[in-house]
Chain A
Amino acid sequence: MFRFLPEQASTFAADVDWIHNWITDISVFFTVAIFGAAILFAIIWRRREGKDHATPQILGDHKLEAIWTIVPTLICVFVAVKGLVSYQDMRTPPANTLDISVTAEQFNWSFEYPNGKKTTNDITVPVGHPVKFIMRSKDVIHSFFIPAMRVKKDVLPSMFTTLWFEPIKTGSYQGFCTEYCGAGHSAMLFKVNVVSDAEYDRWLTDDSTEFMKSKMNAEDLGRALYEQKTCNTCHSIDGSMRIGPSFAKLWNKKEKLVDGTEVLVDENYIESSIVNPNAQVVAGYAPIMPSFEGQLSVDEIKALIAFIKGLEKTEVAPVAAVQAVAVAPVDRSKLKPEERGKILSQEKLCISCHSIDGSKVIGPSFKGIYGRKGKLVGGADYEVTDEYIKESILNPMAKVVDGYAPAMPPYAGQLSDDDINDIIAYLKTVK
């Protein structure tokens, strides 16, 4: 009865579940028996027709009272001991554990493997091997919880705490932060991937920077890092426009900055842009890049520099050519406004940040956007009207929807009023 616990994915699970289910059965039995007795008494001896019947003055019964003191005591002793034993197992890791270092901070989890491999919000462990986590928080208290493994431990800023388990089943399991830590608490999730030994070895070495460093030249390592550290989300290598400047033909270029000064893209500029990205922001871009300080070694920064340097030589397809593939050469004046708007939304790459299927990318989805109401950063209300869309295109920082970063570049001077009206017509159709 009431068997709702998650699947058993660690060696502890069976023990914990056994005592859990035993408590359930005994609890259900006693609850039904005792409350059933109360209901039964209330039915059998209820007062009829508004008249009391005679009742015996029973004051107590020592024998009965002794029984219902001793029986619960025995049950409690049994459950307490079983609980202690299962806890003892959780607190006694074997000697041969795979040790993973865990750093929690508002609101993500960083993991580091013995070979230096680092991951975020994602753990891969081999099935059948005990794994131990050595945990520390950078800020407030968090708690590391994997239901399928039946383990949980608080992660403190003041001392290290540890936790171990031995996974017995391959699969992907959800992990949660269970100590309330602030606004992003409910999004502080992680995944535990339990894989076979062979797969684990491949995973551990395949894209590990140690492994790559030994096999790759600096430029290739830089290319791998470009994807692994998700630089590619915001920086293209083919000249196309994303959130940040493209890496294509970037090397040795003189860039104009938001404060009007110029800077030469050299080793030091690239390094400072990685470590302290918002100090020297290129004109036309928002200061939104997170710092990668401490996440990249000097060798890795060197590799990224080599990679960007290499892109100077690469023949990149001109932007226009990319667009030509996407958009068939038609006489646009013959199209309906919403069709022209749709083509514009692809040409201007709106859809790289605004999905049309409702999924959350960088900006709010276009799906059902027209007429949408909600809150802006700062708490004011907004409603998506013609005016609102126009303003958001020409001056996107003026009104930013709550929950999104002020990341969109302004399109003033790049789109005519007619273009904007076409886009508005198109947006009305995205439902």
Chain B
Amino acid sequence: MSTAASTAPEVKKNYLNDHTGIWSWIYTLDHKRIGIMYLVSLFTFFFIAGLIALTMRYELMHAGASGLLTPKQYNVAFTLHGAMMVFLFIVPGIPATLGNFLLPLMIGAKDVAFPRMNLLSYYIYIVGAIMALVALLNPIDTGWTFYTPYSIQTGQGVVLMTAAAFVLGFSSILTGLNFIVTIHKLRAPGMHWMRLPLFVWATYATAGIQVLATPVVGINLLLLIMERTMGIGIFDPKLGGDPVLFQHLFWFYSHPVVYIMILPAFGIIGEIIPVFSRKPIFGYKAVVIASFSLALLGFFVWAHHMFVSGISDFSAATFSIITFGVAIPTAVKVFNWVSTMYRGSIRLDTPMLYAISFIFIFMVAGTTGIYLATLGVDVFYHDTYFVVAHFHYTMQGGAVIGLIAGLHFWFPKMSGKMYNEHIAKIGFVLVFIGFNLTFIPQFVLGMHGMPRRYFDYPPEFESLHFVSTIGAFMNGLGYAMAIFNLALTGLFGKVKAPRNPYDSLSLEWQTDSPPIHDNFETTPIITEWTYGYGTPVRDGTHH
């Protein structure tokens, strides 16, 4: 890029070319570069964990052993897949990548409040990721949930893995803290709270969970270490401990984490639909309130993972009722997205296709959650393929497809290039069909009573598993196309992106593509709401 600058002196400086060389990345304090570094790291793990998923689907394609994996290796594979996807990819996920890149741009700031802490959080993430890999390759075969006492019996790796989660947690806490302070302190003049883009609101709600829930994993680790090194009985029944306590502490963190994964994805959808419909978001305040309701409720529903674990019937009833509370803000969000499209001028570009598909996927994710909140029905579905399909609809269909949608949407801003729209659309079709083909059969398997984490299964389940495997490979191919399309056009693409290819009113689009190091030439002054699309009408002018 420096050569481009020398031959064409009119080329403007931007965050990618103002400093060059590897050290300019390693030492960078620029939130945009840190976001890109996270993006590359995260997708490396996504790629590995995705290949492991395909290996498992291959093993499950036919009844009986395929010869590819032994039962023990299969168990290691689903542990690797789950732990890497959750701890190294989806939890840091959208906040660390798009959050880092966009948050200061969206509120008109030069950077986050603590740029050095931001870089620190990245390196803590890398240290945690290395620890996790070392622990996982031990190998661990406990599943990503590390339930005691099996995890105590099966080797030392689990302590290192929890330590890795602890370290990764600090990365998460620092990011959350940084975002909270940034949103409070660095909003440009005129960027009132009620003018904030929904993605910022979602990131803010998420940051709260990151700061409050993550320390519990630390407590879990300390207790585990005390048990393993000092013989104090906490989780191990042989020492007088209670294995169900581990599940409580585990889910007290790991359920709110679900909202760390999904709220930012909601935020992305809330950005894309108004821009591509040329309409203001319908019920802005309701969408914001819904985000915070979800963040809050997320703390009080953890035991719905434990209805058949031996918790008291009173606890089960209480957690079931609170869990139903989650359905309402989720429903409100979906209704508001669809209403935003009403009488719009709808552009069906790739980000919008992903966003519309997200509505379907999240309807399925949400309504299948209703079954699992319903006590009598969850007794049947707990730990079956129904649960596997449900959480993949939220985690993959929600968080990952949300991230992919956002990457396509903000790609011109991030790279200064346009991606190939045809390949992106083919990728989208493969992802959408492949994803549903993978997991709809798994819902049906769950209805038949097929338990999860089974290396082998009775032959009557074979046809559904076969279809699911075909879908998984299609899904994988779709992601590969989508991501390589972005990566290759980003690196080598010739089509320059304008400042604002989608005519968005949001602040990040009002600066160069890619932005300069300080984001804006002069501090922007905001005079209007972010979503003022369309012609004002007499009815429905309140917000």
Contacts and interface: CB of A to CB of B under 8 A. Distances in A.
B541 A19 contact: no
A154 B317 CA distance: 17
B282 A59 contact: yes
Given A52-B345, A55-B535, A182-B150, A60 B283 contact: yes
Interface string A28-49: 0011001101110110011100
Contacts of B310: 153-154, 156, 159, 161
Contact of B344 (A2, A4, A55): A55
Interface in A350-409: 374-375, 402-403
A12 B375 CA distance: 13
A327 B145 CA distance: 58
Given A177-B451, A182-B154, A57 B341 contact: no
A148 B149 CA distance: 29
B359 A34 contact: yes
Interface in A178-200: 178-187
A54 B335 contact: no
Contacts of B67: 374
B143 interface: yes
A46 B353 CA distance: 12
B484 interface: no
A332 interface: no
A130 to B, nearest CB: 17
A38 B377 contact: no
A16 B379 CA distance: 9
Interface in B305-336: 308-310, 313, 316-317, 320-321, 324-325, 327-328, 331-332, 334-336
B374 interface: yes
A129 interface: no
Contacts, number: 296
Contact of A59 (B70, B457, B542): B542
A176 interface: yes
A68 B333 CA distance: 10
Interface stretch (B50-58, B240-248, B517-525): B240-248
B320 A152 contact: no
B384 interface: yes
A151 B384 CA distance: 13
A281 to B, nearest CB: 28
Contacts of A151: 379
A73 interface: yes
Contacts of A174: 449, 458
Given A19-B376, A68-B335, A80-B374, A42 B534 contact: no
A60 B535 contact: no
Interface stretch (B5-13, B24-32, B37-45, B272-280): B272-280
A87 B308 CA distance: 11
A82 B345 contact: no
A147 B325 CA distance: 28
Interface centre among B70, B335, B371, B457 (most CB of A within 10 A): B335
A215 interface: no
A283 B158 CA distance: 43
Given A60-B282, A83-B375, A157-B243, A31 B370 contact: no
Given A46-B348, A140-B149, A157-B149, A79 B343 contact: no
A55 B243 contact: no
Interface string B518-541: 000000000000001111110111
A42 B276 CA distance: 10
A145 B320 CA distance: 20
Contact of B244 (A34, A91, A147, A158): A158
B243 A57 contact: no
Interface in A42-92: 42, 45-47, 52-62, 64-65, 68-69, 72-73, 76-77, 79-80, 82-91
Given A53-B345, A58-B282, A58-B537, A187 B370 contact: no
B540 A23 contact: no
A20 B377 contact: yes
B184 interface: no
Interface stretch (B171-179, B294-302, B360-368, B412-420): B360-368
Contacts of B70: 375, 402-403
Contacts of A187: 456
Interface in B127-166: 141-143, 147, 149-150, 153-154
A145 B449 contact: yes
Interface string A75-118: 01101101111111111000000000000000000000000000
Given A46-B346, A139-B153, A52 B241 contact: no
Nearest to B143: A180
A47 B346 CA distance: 5
Given A55-B343, A58-B282, A58-B537, A183 B75 contact: yes
Nearest to A61: B540
B190 interface: no
A80 B377 CA distance: 10
B338 interface: yes
Given A61-B540, A182-B154, A20 B371 contact: yes
B370 A76 contact: yes
Contacts of A171: none
A4 B443 CA distance: 10
B382 interface: yes
Contact of A15 (B143, B237, B376, B532): B376
Contact of B237 (A58, A158, A178, A185): A158
Contacts of B143: 180
B346 A45 contact: yes
B540 A59 contact: yes
A47 B532 CA distance: 19
Contacts of B339: 58, 61, 64
A154 to B, nearest CB: 5
A183 B141 contact: yes
A180 B150 contact: yes
A159 B356 CA distance: 48
Interface centre among A37, A178, A180, A186 (most CB of B within 10 A): A180
Contacts of B494: none
B345 A12 contact: no
Contacts of A52: 278, 345, 347
Nearest to B380: A150
Interface string B224-267: 00000000000001000111100000000000000000000000
B501 interface: no
Closest 7 CB pairs of A and B: A147-B449, A86-B376, A83-B374, A27-B367, A87-B375, A4-B447, A186-B454
16 contacts: A45-B341, A56-B343, A56-B537, A58-B282, A59-B280, A59-B284, A60-B285, A76-B370, A80-B320, A140-B149, A150-B376, A157-B243, A158-B243, A176-B451, A182-B150, A403-B70
Interface of B: 67, 70-72, 75, 141-143, 147, 149-150, 153-154, 237, 241-244, 277-280, 282-286, 308-310, 313, 316-317, 320-321, 324-325, 327-328, 331-332, 334-339, 341-348, 356, 359-360, 363-364, 367-368, 370-371, 373-380, 382-384, 444, 447-449, 451-458, 532-537, 539-543
